[in-house]
Copies of this chain bind each other. A is one copy, B any other.
Amino acid sequence: MIHQLTLSDVLAEHARSRPQVTAVVDGEVRLTYPELDERVTRLANALAARGVTAGERVLWLGRNAHAVLELLLASSRLGAIFCPANWRQSADELAFVLDDLAPKVVVWERSEAAAPLSGDGWILAGADYEAFLAGGSAEAVPEPTGDTAPGGDTVPAGDTVPGGDAASAGDAAPVLALYTAAFDGRPNAALLSSAALVAHSASLLVVRQMEPGFTFLNNGPLFHVGTMMFCLATFQIGGTNVFTPAFDAEEVCRLIDAEKVTQAFLFGQMIDAVVATNAGGKYDLSSLRFISHSDEWDAMTTVDDSPWCRSKMGGYGQTEVGGMLTFLGLAPGAAGFAGRPSPLVQVRLLDDSGAEVPPGEAGEICARGKSIFSGYFNRPELNAARTRGGWHHTGDLGRREPDGTITFIGPRLRMIKSGNENVYPAEVERALKIHPAVADAAVIGVPDERWHQAVKAVVVLRDGQAASEEEIVEHVKGTLASYKKPRHVVFAESIPKKGFTPDYDALDAAHGGGNYPGS
């Protein structure tokens, strides 16, 4: 027990240490930490009465609301798993999630996609949720199984990758499930433990230099780790989370002014929209301590000098590492734009055999450490593959630069084997796209008598630009090791895509791809 710290524990401490601090603002709702703590206890008891025990799942299907944080903390209090689902999904996609996660309780906002799926155990957000919560007892929730599995036996905490069972307990038990965008095939629910989330928050506290009083405006989607990670770090330091259903420039301005918001989930065009909305200076946005963006923005807000803001928020991350794995802010003047690892993780660039590749060579970004996830819910085979050799395999390619910093190359979707050398299409594609005449490019492997496979580039030229096959090959040779250069270049009108990535099956079919290792 002594070394445990669940999200529920953090709340219990804040209720004592910060009796007068506002934990949550959502429309008319304002809750201090003791008030939030009491509501979470009632909610946990109400969920328990519906059969939510350790390892069971609770689903939220709606826009941002303080109920998201309450359901997460109540799940932590019970040792259960909370999933804020993407409410923008289609009915088919939602049906898949419901079948996959089999939640005991769903709290939902009425929507076209969700309505036909609703049934037993579904609670409408708003008045029904309030009544459900109010019906729960305010008595202290018994601590969940602690360091013992539901069966009563002691299990090792920390290193178990559960495949649907609550195989680990205490703060190593999964508490948050976030579905990750699948490049290929069905989505998977990444499970994050309290220990991982607390560690990830600590790394954000360090890099963003967050302090008590930090006020975060949750205007990005909470089913995405990018917003959730700042919500949790704000919670961890005992700050204030302000919730708004979605981005609306006027409402964002009003809330920053009214709640003295320190940071919001804003970038690019959202910032431009805020600047345009507040051109007349109607709202005081000076409480916002954030990145530099434009002269108008910088004049309205306070440009922050923390490593996070200074570095334009760069780094490499994914849901499976709790959010960020590396930070540009930890590598001032870095060669690699992903920067350096968080102080709580290790990173290795590994080849297919699990051996480390030397600096300058592309390898899969692999990680160990305090913020790494606990595996995907109910995906034992995928979990075994992603954790082989005791390292979390991100599925992404990267490279160490001479200064030790990391460059993110792209998703490691495929590998070509040419003359016993590994060639990752993403790396060659990245080199091709640097050429000024190239608008888009994809790389496949074609059978080759001498080399087993040869690299073939499918290139789309920019309108009005020209480049020869030789010129393209020479360009890649100037950037990468010679064996990675294309032996064949074909020009095409467009690259077929699956989501954001090339459709390699279609490309293989169209351009003679084959002989891939393992095929």
Q: Is there an interface contact between B19 and A403, defined as CB atoms closer than 8 Å?
A: yes
B-contact 0/1 string along A130-174, CB 8 Å cutoff? 000000000000000001000000111111010000000010100
Q: Are B330 and A372 in contact (CB under 8 A)?
A: no
Interface residues on A, range: 35 or more
User: Which residues, 325 to 380 on A, are CB-close (under 8 Å) to B?
Assistant: 330-332, 340-341, 343-348, 368-370, 372
**Which residues in B have their C-beta under 8 angstroms from that of A202?**
199, 202-203, 206, 343-344
Give the number of times this chain occurs in the complex, counting copies: 2
Distance to closest chain B CB from A347 (angstroms): 7
Partner of A158, one of B158, B209, B369, B404: B158
A227 at the interface (CB under 8 A from B): no
Interface assignment of A16: CB less than 8 Å from any CB of chain B: yes
A509 partner residues in chain B, CB cutoff 8 A? none
A341: which B residues are within 8 A, CB to CB?
Answer: 13, 17
- Whether the Cβ atoms of B368 and A5 lie closer than 8 Å is yes
B368 to A17, Cβ gap below 8 A?
A: no
Q: A405 on the interface (CB 8 Å rule)?
A: yes
A400 at the interface (CB under 8 A from B): yes
Q: Assess the B18–A340 pair: CB atoms within 8 A.
A: yes
Rounded to whole Å, the gap between the CB of A384 and the closest CB of chain B is 12
Please indicate the chain B residues that have their CB under 8 angstroms from the CB of A161 in the complex: 2
Whether the Cβ atoms of A155 and B156 lie closer than 8 Å is: yes
Is A29 at the interface (CB under 8 A from chain B)? no
Across the interface, A198 reaches (CB within 8 A) one of B157, B344, B404, namely: B344
**Which of the 9-residue segments A290-298, A386-394, A510-518 touches chain B?**
A386-394
With contact pairs A12-B346, A236-B343, A346-B9 given, residues A370 and B205 touching in the complex (Cβ less than 8 Å): no
In the assembled complex, A1 has its CB within 8 A of some CB on chain B: yes
Contact between B5 and A159, CB atoms less than 8 A apart: no
Q: Tell me, yes or no, whether A201 is within 8 Å of chain B by CB.
A: yes
- Chain B residues with CB under 8 Å of A199's CB are 202
If A343-B202, A368-B9, A403-B20 touch, whether A392 touches B2 (CB-CB below 8 Å) is yes
- In the complex, A126→B184 CA distance in Å? 59
Question: In the complex, what distance in Å separates the CA atom of A215 from the CA atom of B406?
Answer: 23
**A210: B residues at CB distance < 8 A:** 206
Chain B residues whose CB sits within 8 angstroms of the CB of A9 once the complex forms: 346, 368-369
**Bound: A89/B334 CA distance, A:** 47
Chain B positions within 8 Å of A390 at CB level: 1-2
Whether A237 is near chain B, meaning CB under 8 Å from some CB there, is: yes
A14's nearest neighbour on chain B, judged by CB, is: B404
A62 interface hit (Cβ, 8 Å): no
Knowing A332-B212, A346-B5, A368-B3 are in contact, say whether A238-B340 is a contact too (CB < 8 A).
yes
Interface centre among A3, A18, A370 (most CB of B within 10 A): A3
Candidate in A340, A347, A390, A400 with the most chain B CB atoms within 10 angstroms: A340
The residue in chain B whose Cβ has the minimal distance to the Cβ of A346 is B13
Chain B minimum-CB-distance residue to A349: B16
With A12-B346, A346-B13 already in contact, the answer to whether A370 and B5 are too (CB < 8 A) is yes
Query: A147: which B residues are within 8 A, CB to CB?
Result: 156, 158-159
User: What are 13 sample pairs from A and B whose C-beta atoms fall under 8 A apart?
Assistant: A2-B391, A3-B372, A5-B370, A13-B341, A13-B346, A16-B400, A154-B156, A155-B156, A156-B157, A157-B157, A157-B159, A206-B206, A238-B330
The 8 A-B residue pairs with the shortest CB-CB distance, nearest first, are: A1-B390, A17-B404, A13-B346, A202-B202, A205-B206, A17-B340, A19-B404, A3-B158
